[in-house]
Amino acid sequence: MSYVSFHGKARLLAPTLLAIALAACSGQDAPAPADAAAPAKAPAAAPAEPAAAAKVQSMGTDQLRDSASTALRENRMYAPAGDNAMEYYLALRDKLPDDASVKSALTDLQPYTLIAAEQSLTREDFDEAQRLVALIEKVDPSAPALPRLKQGISNGMQVASRRTQDEAERAKRDAENRAKQQVEQQRLAQQQAAEATAARELAERQEAARRESERQEAERQAAAKREADARAAAQAAATPKPAAAPTLRAVSTPAPRYPADALRSGTSGEVLVEITVGTDGSVTDARILRASPPRVFDREALNAVKRWRFEPISSPTTTRRTLAFQPNN
């Protein structure tokens, strides 16, 4: 089967596999079906080192199941590192090695991780490819794709290394060519210097006339500058100074609502908002200048600043405010 067709089928099966994994996650204490143990297969050997990040390993089983379910709903099957369904289920397997639902979830997730590893290899993201291959190997050390993926990573890194070496050699040749060009340019410069010496005497005879012309031009420019400075000084004296921007004094600045999804996931961040305050003290316009993380707190930040009120001012003014979102606040 080709990679393209396999990838397409995997995408078509995604809803089914997700439902199976979620159902398996919720049934920790349910008895396994009678035919589940029919294929007699020796249990995999315990991994020599933790299968997931240290912070994942430190979670309890209930927290791991909740985190794995959330990751599946948000399509974080294998990434980002330390916050994906694969690592949560691997940690669960370490804690519950005989749980059939955990093993089933890992089996369902493995094809997606395999596709992602091949894609990382294609775009020469070898660090990510190695991370994903390590996850696959933790799930099934005898997975048929592992030798091919490991060889692909090794070959890809060698190709990238050779390409870097070729580029370095090409840069060296370019530097040598530039050095030769500089030698030739120096030879031409010496020749031009000799020709310049012959022309210097003519230039010296013309120098006296040129200096006189420059002196006259300098006097003309100095007179023109004095006249322009005088006009500018008169104009500056007649131009009124601009009024200072009005000072904003807050009357009411209600805090923004914390998005429920961000609060549950413990996500924090901040939003830089530019607001325009009208003469009555209300916010007449607001826009997002910067948000971290993007599109998480934007809406609540805008809703909050549009409710702000300030003391009336003489003229509309624009200012910036940073709204911080901390789940413990």
Sequential DSSP letters for 198-240 = HHHHHHHHHHHHHHHHHHHHHHHHHHHHHHHHHHHHHHHHHSP
| Coil, strand or helix at 271 | strand
In a domain, 307, yes or no: yes
pLDDT value of residue 52: 67
Residues 6+ apart with CB under 8 A from 251: 281, 309, 310, 311
pLDDT, greater one: 201 or 276 = 276
Residues 23 and 138 in one domain: yes
Helix axes 61-73 and 3-26, enclosed angle (nearest 10)? 140
Domain end marker among 143, 162, 190: 143
Residues 133 and 260 in one domain: no
In a domain, 37, yes or no: no
Domain end marker among 116, 143, 170: 143
In a domain, 79, yes or no: yes
pLDDT value of residue 97: 95
d(CA 92, CA 59): 9
Q: Contact at 8 Å (CB) between 104 and 118?
A: no
Phi, psi of 280 (to 5 degrees): -85, 0
Cβ count near 114 (within 10 Å)? 25
- Domain range for residue 129? 3-30+48-143
Domain end marker among 87, 115, 143: 143
Residues 135 and 258 in one domain: no
Radius of gyration from C-alpha coordinates of the chain: 36
In a domain, 127, yes or no: yes
Chain mean pLDDT for the chain: 83
In a domain, 289, yes or no: yes
d(CA 282, CA 190): 74
Q: Where is average pLDDT lowest: 33-47, 110-124, 164-178?
A: 33-47
In a domain, 19, yes or no: yes
pLDDT value of residue 314: 94
Q: Where is average pLDDT lowest: 24-33, 61-70, 77-86, 150-159?
A: 24-33
Averaging pLDDT over each range in 130-139, 203-212, 213-222, which range is the top one? Answer: 130-139
In a domain, 222, yes or no: no
In a domain, 236, yes or no: no
pLDDT in tens, 12-59: 344 344 433 333 333 333 333 333 333 333 334 334 445 567 889 899
Split into its structural domains, the chain has a count of 2
Q: Where is average pLDDT lowest: 2-11, 76-85, 221-230, 305-314?
A: 2-11
pLDDT value of residue 233: 82
Q: What is the largest CA-CA distance in the chain?
A: 113
Model pTM score: 0.42
pLDDT value of residue 237: 73
Percent of the chain with pLDDT over 70: 82
The domain that holds 289 is classified in CATH as: 3.30.2420.10
